[in-house]
Amino acid sequence: MAVGTQEIRADTQAMMLELVRRDLALQAADVIPILTGPTASGKSSLAMAWCEQEDRELISADSMQIYRGFDIGTAKATRDEQARVLHHLIDIKDAQERYSVAQFVSDACEILVSGQAEGRRFLICGGTGQYISALYEGLKFSDPAPSEELRHSINEKIAERGLQESYALLAALDPEAAEQISPENRRRIVRFFEKFELTGKTLSELNAESRMKTRAFNFRVYQLNWDKRQNLYNRINQRTEAIYDAGLISETRSLIERHPSYATDPAFCGIGYREALQHIKGELTEAEARDNTATATRRYAKRQLTWFRPKEYVIRLLYSSQD
């Protein structure tokens, strides 16, 4: 359980928090911790304990928790947890609104600048790798919006060739980006081709060009995981059952009533809501929706881990047993 290395192991959450706090204490005083990890790894619970012990505010780096009303399926902090620890960047968008990586970086930096001027301390926590990488690596964005004509043209091309063939083309153009984009994520596939048409460059090429020489803040990134993959998968399966038992389908029904444009709203593409919607439409039984959600979540967790694998700045936190 060496501290100050690139890997920290612990058997319990209490021990993990103690070791991580010791590691952070060895860093410069201005270092801001970032806690990430795959879905169901236990990062939210660890983050809550960390914030409460050190009087920190939590900045969410989760691309689904930004949406108002999407609570159960995103495992959003409860009202009690939000009362105990101030949370930023949750419940800031309606279902039909989009939120880019550039917007996240801008909003997070604005919170950090104003908060640090007042002596407040923060912990950034979430599983959206693009958000965290952009913040840590200091990505500078030039993100021109596509015209309606271009967006329509891209959508028509994808409809003609099919999503599977479109994803295969994406993978041929940019294998690195393909590892991070789900073959079923039509919105991100469309966005890839929009950027490619606008710039003539792949997403990986654009990201490489956008890295700034210096970052606005000093960060230290911790990635929480389990030493055995099956432990993580068991937790994902348990979480899936828990969110359905807690009323995910009822929540989705209510959200559909509030958002008539749900079929095209980005929030409804989230794992869990997508499957619950298919059940409500009669396309899946509840048992099938639960199974599909668990499968999709396990695949997403694998992509989350793949995203950070080449990042040498990440400190690995590994639980070796159930807490």
In this prediction, the residues of the chain whose per-residue pLDDT falls under 50 are 1-5, 213, 323
C-alpha 278/C-alpha 130 separation (Å) is 28
pLDDT at position 4: 41
pLDDT at position 210: 65
What are the angstrom distances between the C-alpha of 50 and each of 23, 54, 115, 176, 305?
A: 13, 6, 18, 34, 22
Q: pLDDT tens digits, residue range 81-92?
A: 999 999 999 999
C-alpha 93/C-alpha 90 separation (Å) is 8
C-alpha 240/C-alpha 73 separation (Å) is 9
pTM of the predicted structure, to 2 decimals? 0.81
pLDDT at position 214: 53
CA 152 to chain centre: 28
Which class would CATH give 229-301?
A: mainly alpha
In a 10 Å sphere around its CB, with 0-12 CB exposed, 13-18 middle and 19+ buried, how is residue 111 labelled? middle
pLDDT at position 155: 92
Please, where in the chain does CATH 3.40.50.300 lie? 7-141+213-228+312-319
Q: Which CATH architecture has domain 7-141+213-228+312-319?
A: 3-Layer(aba) Sandwich (3.40)
C-alpha 199/C-alpha 38 separation (Å) is 32
pLDDT at position 1: 41
For the domain covering 148-210, report its CATH number: 1.10.20.140
Please, where in the chain does CATH 1.10.20.140 lie? 148-210
Please, where in the chain does CATH 1.10.287.890 lie? 229-301
pLDDT at position 104: 94
CB 224 within 8 A of CB 36: yes
Side chain identity, residue 144: P
